[in-house]
Amino acid sequence: MYLPKLRELTEALRSLFSAPYTTKFPKVPYTAPKEYRGFPKYDEEHCIGCGTCAQVCPTDAIEIIDDKENRRRTLRINYASCSQCGQCEEKCITEKGIKLSDKYSILVSDLKAPEVFESVEKEMALCEICGEVIACRDHLQWIKERLGAKAYANPNFLLEFQKEFTEVAPSNPKDRIRREDLIKEVCPKCRHKIVVRDEF
Ligand code: SF4
Ligand code: SF4
């Protein structure tokens, strides 16, 4: 009858004088193994602002905030919603725009604290006719580089080439679409209208 009690007492004494099995986290920071899938981080240089990561995120943790007035797109990850699944990294079209880090823990009392968010900001190209978003400038550049000489066939990319050599001032919107609007930075809908409704 006393045997189990004695065994428990021995175990208690042994654990009292032996080293702890658990880590001292969070007092002592813990470094995650290299393979650990932590929170994703953007790489400003390689992200082109395409928004694919936001589309594939299964938890809707990535938000696309378009500020047309200032022509800025912000991609913002909310770590409180991120499940660290790695889909954003896997499906990133440049393969380098976003990478999972070894960061696994955020200790905050307020879920709106800046540490809970990770973001990247990009300049947007807007349609010169209707003002809708075409894409981010870096995205246009990325496609243009892949198309090579074929990019000259598209007026939007043609203007991108031109901008490398001279400043191209945006034109003022007119009361109706004209044929000359073909050589403008416009969205697919307006380009369709320019071609189909050509009255001249
Ligand atoms: S380039 Fe990659 S990280 Fe940047 S918006 Fe596109 S998918 Fe996301
Ligand atoms: S790791 Fe998964 S859940 Fe987190 S932002 Fe990327 S796609 Fe979304």
**Structural domain includes residue 16:** no
Both 176 and 199 in one domain: the answer is yes
- Mark whether 143 and 75 lie in a shared domain: no
Q: What residue's CA is closest to ligand 1, atom 8?
A: 53
Residues 6+ positions from 179 with CB-CB distance below 8 Å: 194, 198, 200
Q: Are 54 and 76 within one domain?
A: yes
Give residue 83's domain range: 25-126
Domain membership of residue 14 (yes or no) is no
Among the bound ligands, the one closest to the CA of 57:
2
| 3-state class percentages of the chain: helix first, strand second, coil last, to nearest 5 | 35, 15, 50
- Both 155 and 182 in one domain: the answer is yes
Q: What is the DSSP string of 148-182?
A: GGGGGGSHHHHHHHHHTTS--PPPPPPSS--GGGG
Residue 141 lies in a domain: yes
Name all residues whose Cβ lies below 6 A of ligand 2.
40, 57, 59, 61-62, 77, 82-88
Same domain, 65 and 141: no
DSSP E strands in the chain: the ranges are: 40-42, 62-67, 72-78, 98-100, 117-126, 133-136
Indicate if 132 and 74 belong to the same structural domain. no
Q: What is the pLDDT of residue 24?
A: 82
Q: CATH number, domain at 115?
A: 3.30.70.3270
Taking a C-beta distance cutoff of 8 angstroms, is the pair 183, 159 a contact?
yes
Token pair for residue 42?
């953007």
Establish if 20 belongs to a structural domain. Answer: no
> What is d(CA 30, CA 16) in angstroms, rounded to the nearest whole number?
24
Which two tokens mark 105?
Answer: 């823990």
How far apart (Å, rounded) are the C-alpha atoms in residues 135 and 125? Answer: 6
**Tens of each residue's pLDDT in the chain, 200 residues:** 677 788 899 999 998 888 877 888 878 888 888 889 999 999 999 999 999 999 999 999 999 999 999 999 999 999 999 999 999 999 999 999 999 999 988 889 999 999 999 999 999 999 988 899 999 999 999 999 999 999 999 999 988 888 878 776 666 666 677 777 888 889 999 888 888 876 55
Cα of 64 from ligand 2 centre, angstroms:
14
Number of domains in the chain: 2
**Which residue carries 């380009």 as its tokens?**
191
Residues 145, 115 share a domain:
no
Task: Say yes or no: 109 and 165 in one domain.
Answer: no
Tell me, yes or no, whether 64 and 114 share the same domain.
Answer: yes
Q: pTM of the entire structure?
A: 0.82
Does residue 169 share a domain with residue 200? yes
Give pLDDT, residue 43.
98
Residues 53 and 122 in one domain: yes
- How many CB atoms lie under 10 A from the CB of residue 70? 10
Among 47, 84, 98, name the best residue to mutate to test ligand 2's pocket (greatest count of ligand atoms within 8 A of Cβ): 84
Q: How far apart are CA 48 and CA 143, in angstroms?
A: 10
Same-domain check for residues 135 and 171:
yes
